[in-house]
Amino acid sequence: MSLAADLGCRYISTALTSNPYNPSIYPPFSLRDDPALRREMIAAMRDRDVSISLGEGMVVRTGADIQDRVGDLEIMAELGVRRINTVSLDPDLDRSIDQFGILAENAASLGMETTVEASPGLTVPDLPSALDVIRQVGRPDFRLLVDTMHIVRSGSGPDDLARLDPGVIGYIQLSDAPLVPAIPRYMEEAMFERMVPGTGELPLLDVLDVLPRDDLVIGLEIPLRAEAMAGVGPHERIGRCVDAARSLLAQLGDQPRRA
């Protein structure tokens, strides 16, 4: 969170445990198992005026009951999280929808809303599927997370987003990418090698132009593992992403919004 504050950002997102990004660069951590770390994090966020805009890692899995994650939700609430995100790796769509509903209900009891993220290769692979899931869950606090890479790569675009009720959108994750995958395994690209906004081929300006922005956080999900492995430091990597995102938003401020 200190890096976010240094770059003038007010929010971060996090899971309770570390992603195996590269242990030699980022040592593993567990907010779930380390109460002292949680206390340190809460104090640091208070001191630097940074908060957690999105709690990650609430994944629906085959053979696991999301009800068992109540303890994790309680930790998220302790950390001041007000929104959690979910995806499903369970190929049973009906069961996934039931699990989403349980998760959203439990999160709401702790003062948090829930977003669902569509991605190629997951049980909810695209925008139409996500909208159908949201309709079936049927809760106003269960909304859509718009990840620009996933939405465009799965076949939707600005016109599709423009037709949505703005109230269905709960969060925006910004990144860039080529239109044709550069890495054969989609999830490897999504988790480790995205592109700085404006350096790829996604229609980011058009997408952002049709999304509500006044009361939504725009998060950056732009892993640059190759640069990290090459020794490019986090301030330089993330600073470029923040500057590029602000440049895009400034361009939107200079032009009329699409109808």
Q: Quick one: average pLDDT of 140-169? A: 97
More confident residue, 96 or 21: 96
Q: How many CB atoms lie within 10 A of CB 123?
A: 20
Q: Which two tokens stand for residue 210?
A: 């049709």
From the centroid of its chain, how far is CA 194?
13
Q: What is the mean pLDDT of the chain?
A: 94
Distances (CA, A) of 129 to 61, 83, 100, 190: 18, 21, 14, 19
pLDDT tens digits along 35-90: 999 999 999 999 999 999 999 999 999 999 999 999 999 999 999 999 999 999 99
Q: Residue 240: how many CB atoms within 10 A of its CB?
A: 17
Q: What is the pLDDT of residues 185-216, one digit of tens each?
A: 999 999 999 999 999 999 999 999 999 977 89
pTM attached to this predicted model: 0.94
Please report how the helices 93-109 and 70-78 are oriented relative to each other, as an axis angle in degrees rounded to 10. Answer: 40
Q: Is the dihedral of CA 158, 205, 203, 89 positive or negative?
A: negative
Which of 217, 190, 203, 192 has the alpha carbon at shortest distance from 251? 203
* Phi-psi group of 154: left, alpha or beta (phi > 0 → left; psi -120 to 50 → alpha; rest → beta): alpha
Alpha-carbon torsion angle 171, 233, 152, 168, nearest 10: 0
Length of the chain: 259
pLDDT at 259: 42
Looking at residue 164, its pLDDT comes to 97
Alpha-carbon dihedral angle through residues 178, 184, 190, 196, given to the nearest 10 degrees: -30
